[in-house]
Amino acid sequence: MTYDDKNVFAKILRGEIPSKKIYEDEFVLAFHDAFPKAPVHALIIPKGPYIDIDDFNSNASDAEILALSRAIPKVVDALELGNKGFRTIANAGANGGQEVPHFHLHIIGGKVIGPMVQG
């Protein structure tokens, strides 16, 4: 599969669609989800064109991987979730529930999230 630069996250990265930014650096953008599934729901995306977590971990530079990993606690702190708890989710592919073909992490919290997977 090749990267589709018409996906919504690519458009956000190009500034074609606005987002409510939480954190940004050279390699990463974090913003509030437009359709939250919890009281607090943020997305962290690499700025590079990676389809899913497998593509990212296989092809991103060490600097990109480190930047994404280091962005997580910065976003959690900005959202004031550290002491309350949160869940980080990376969906991959159709069976994994991935809706946008650009690798992204969901940070959700603000309430008890419940079981990881429901039958």
Compute the mean pLDDT over every residue in the chain, rounded to the nearest whole number: 95
Q: Report H helices in 7-111.
A: 8-13, 53-59, 62-78
If you ran DSSP here, which 8-state letter would residue 25 be given?
-
pLDDT digit string (tens) for 41-94? 999 999 999 999 999 999 999 999 999 999 999 999 999 998 899 999 999 999
CB 20 within 8 A of CB 32: yes
* pTM for this entry: 0.94
pLDDT of residue 119: 62
What's the CA gap between 94 and 40, in Å, rounded?
24
Q: Is 102 a catalytic residue?
A: no
Domains of the chain and any CATH numbers: 8-109 (3.30.428.10)
CB atoms under 10 Å from CB of 50, counted, come to: 22
Q: Which of 41, 102, 104, 106 is flagged as catalytic?
A: 104
pLDDT of residue 1: 79
